[in-house]
Amino acid sequence: MEKSFNYRFYPTPEQESLLRRTLGCVRLVYNKALHKRTQAWYEKQERVGYNQTSSMLTNWKKQEELSFLNEVSCVPLQQGLRHLQTAFTNFFVGRAKYPNFKKKHTGGSAEFTKSAFKWKDRQIYLAKCSEPLPIRWSRQIPMGCELRLVTVRLHPSGRWHISIRFDDLTVKPLRTIDKKIGIDLGISSLLVTSDGDKIANPKHLTQHYRRLRQAQKSLRRKQKGSKNRDKARIKVARIHAQITDTRKDHLHKLTTQLVRENQTIVVEDLAVKNMVKNHKLAQSISDASWGEITRQLEYKCRWYGRNYIEIDRWFPSSKRCSICGHINPAMPLKVREWDCPDCGTHHDRDK
User: Among this protein's residues, is 310 annotated catalytic?
Assistant: no
Active site residue 268: yes
**Cα–Cα–Cα angle for 308, 312, 314, rounded to 5 degrees:** 155
Of 14, 131, 168, 184, the catalytic one is: 184
Q: Which residues pair with 308 in a beta bridge?
A: 265
Can 184 be counted among the known catalytic residues? yes
Q: Which residue type is seen at 330? A: A
Neighbours of 148 (CB within 10 A): 13
Q: Other C-beta atoms within 10 Å of 220: how many?
A: 8
Which one is catalytic: 65, 230, 312, 350? Answer: 350
CB atoms closer than 10 angstroms to residue 17: 11
Give SS3 for 327. Answer: strand
Q: Reading across the β-sheet that carries 307-311, which strands appear in turn?
A: 198-200, 189-193, 180-185, 264-268, 307-311
CA distance 4 to 21: 25
Q: Which residue among 146, 168, 178, 268 is the active-site one?
A: 268
Per-residue H/E/C for 227-243: HHHHHHHHHHHHHHHHH
What is the distance between the alpha carbons of residues 81 and 54, in angstroms, rounded to a whole number? 7
Instruction: Work out whether strand 264-268 and strand 307-311 pair parallel, antiparallel, or are unpaired.
Output: parallel
Catalytic residue IDs: 184, 268, 350
